[in-house]
Structure 1
Amino acid sequence: MSARRCLWNLLEGVNQGENAAWILGRDFNSTLSNTECSSEANISSGVNALFSDFVFNQGLFDAGFMGSRFTWCRGSLHERLDRFLINETVAQRMHFSIFHLDHLVLDHRPILFHSVINDQRSASRPFCFLACWLEHPKFQDMLSTCWGSSRLLSDNISSFKAGVRTWNRDIFGHIARSKRRLMARIVGIDCKLEHRCSNYLSRLCGKLLA
């Protein structure tokens, strides 16, 4: 607890006042209310009290989230340990959304903080090369049909972009659809485990993640 108290004191020294924008995001390893823990045994602790006092004294508040209620799990225990804290200045100056993403290997969920600066959007979606394409056994065949040694580099790039988009949709996309179905099953099981304990569902989720 003494180390945690030192952390809060250090962060208090970083705070530049209510007129400065302040965003804190991390695994705080503490909860703010009894709704953020699936076990009552972990709710009322000195660590959580220190965290609550720090948030209140610094004029911070929880930025909210979309997605699963908890961000960490181990066995049947689920807690919301990861979050973003902001002050009033940030709330007034920024539009943002926070998402609790799906966890696959780690026991913590990744958290996405998306801030909206303006409404301008690119007219066309930029091309992105996916490294996982290289692992597909038919990628080299597709590349050979799109890339010619006698053509200009710019022509080859344009040909590759057009060819790989079609190949990704018709061939590689089957893998992506399978992944989406698998992720949907994992998310569904995860939601059920947040509300009730089930050894069967825990084992099934472990097999799907493997």
Structure 2
Amino acid sequence: MEIGKLGAIQLDALKEVANIGACHAATALSELTGEKVLVNVPVIRINPIEKVFEMVAKPQDAVAGVLIYFLGDMTGRTLLMFPQEAAWHLSDCLLHRPLGTTRSFTEIEESAMKEVSNVLTCAYMNALGDLLGLVMVPSVPSMTVDMASAVLEAVSLDFGSDKEVVFCIETEFRFVEKDTVLNGYFLLLPDQDSLEVILKAIHLG
């Protein structure tokens, strides 16, 4: 299966999924934070796993990542990842605190991040499910704060060379009242059978 064969129609379909997912995610963030949240047009990348990892962060960068497995008509895993500073700011927005309050993750901040990651992940996965006509159910989220290399290595365990394609959606969330922009990365790592389903649905398989 050669991702390089993706044509304009297929890429447009995936970009539309990213746009819809990002808009739903922004709406969900607005509801959770009580603030107006806007999104820029998201950037979607479809690459081998190691290339995507090089794009989203430097190995030594501190990041917060929330891993969620999904079951149902498709299986695989997702990783919602924020640079550490952005994750701290997002935590402050969720907990209705001044920006700069959070400087580490206690149980309260971690719980808030897991909740919002679950909501944001569902926003993207529901958009994909609507395109494919499939239902997916998320697992309980788990969170890790570490160097990017460690977080990405953990999420890619058992993700062999025959399952190396990663869908990455980079989204900028702009919190209007706080006049701040947070970058987030949504990574979808489908199992091999589910990758086939996605590619066939967009007429590549």
Fold shared, TM-score > 0.5 on shorter chain: no
Structure with the bigger RCO (C-alpha within 8 Å, sep 6+) is 2
With the length of structure 1 as denominator, give the TM-score of the two structures: 0.28
Task: Tell me which structure has the larger Cα radius of gyration.
Answer: 1
